[in-house]
Amino acid sequence: MKGAETSLSSEEASSRLAAVQKEITLAAVKAGRAPEDITLLAVSKTFPMESVEAFISAGQRDFGESYIQEAREKIPNVKGKAHWHFIGHLQTNKAKYAVKLFSVLHALDSLELALELNKRLVPLDAKIEAYVQVNVSGEGTKSGLEPEELSSFLDSLASYPAVVPVGLMTMPPYDPDPEVSRPFFRKLYELKEKCAPSLKGLSMGMSGDFPVAIEEGATIVRVGTSLFGARNYA
């Protein structure tokens, strides 16, 4: 597995960041929302540290990783300069590493994981913010709670005070047409309003559909390709 062949220059990072921020602003204004209420999460997984540093120099602060080993190599290099989010499926046996690297988790999908995180966080006198992943599409290949499980899950989550729910997350089925994602984003928003109105966050939308996600209520969008370029896997 590897990322881009070459790292981005500061000028390239600044230009790409400005372009994405402009799209965020346009989508927010279209929806009658304040652009500053939407957080851009730069998905830096598989990309070199030099590109991350270029975006930090351009003013980007929130970054997402989904491989623990890669994060362990990257994050110490920019400690204090960035805010790190774990965006992949976190295995319980990796929780002990995640709690020392990340302050936000975007895919909390089981009480077993919450238990393990809480166990690891309490001795550190620390907490982690969590977006609860909900499988609103019903796809068998997707992780996440079933929508009808959400209320009881949140009730049970209160037993793990170091794991602080701040919102919901979902990933719609892939489709090159962003409008296909709209009903899934809308369903997550409606589910939050019905079952968890006290939670303010909605983590949804990626490079191909984040303007639509913003129109449907996203508070944080996970953007990789539009910032870093296409990923190469080997």
Lowest-confidence segment of 30-39, 73-82, 217-226 by average pLDDT: 73-82
What does 115-177 look like in DSSP terms, one character per residue?
HHHHHHHGGGT--EEEEEEB-TT--TTS-SB-GGGHHHHHHHHTT-TTEEEEEEE--PPP-SS
Backbone angles phi, psi at 155, to 5 degrees: -60, -45
The CA distance from 101 to 68, in Å, is 9
Site of tokens 């209320």: 151
* Cα–Cα distance measured from residue 53 to residue 187, given in angstroms and rounded to the nearest whole number: 36
- The pLDDT value recorded for residue 142 is 79
pLDDT at 138: 85
Sorting pLDDT into bands at 50, 70 and 90, what band is 3? very low
Instruction: Report helix, strand or coil for 70.
Output: helix
Taking 70 as the threshold, does the pLDDT of residue 232 lie above it?
no
Query: In which band, very low, low, confident or very high, does the pLDDT at 1 lie, cut at 50, 70 and 90?
Result: very low
pLDDT at 216 over 60: yes
Helix H or strand E segment including 201? strand 201-203
pLDDT of residue 218: 98
Report how many helices (DSSP H) and strands (DSSP E) the chain contains, helices first.
9, 8
Q: How confident is the model at residue 234 (pLDDT cuts 50, 70, 90)?
A: very low
Asked whether the predicted pLDDT for residue 226 surpasses 70, the reply is yes
**Residue 85 β-bridge partners:** 64, 104
- Residue pLDDT, tens place only, 97-152: 999 999 999 999 999 999 999 999 999 999 999 999 999 988 777 789 999 999 99
What pLDDT, in 10s, does the model give residues 143-157?
Answer: 899 999 999 999 999
What is the pLDDT, as a whole number, of residue 140?
73
pLDDT at 231: 77
- What's the pLDDT score for residue 6? 66
Percentage of residues of the chain with pLDDT beyond 70 = 96
Phi, psi of 65 (to 5 degrees): -130, 155
List, for residues 35-81, the tens digit of each pLDDT value.
999 999 999 999 999 999 999 999 999 999 999 999 999 999 887 89
Q: What is the pLDDT of residue 2?
A: 46
**% of the chain residues with pLDDT over 90:** 90
DSSP 207: T
What the chain holds in terms of domains, given with CATH numbers, is 10-228 (3.20.20.10)
Averaged pLDDT score across all residues of the chain: 94
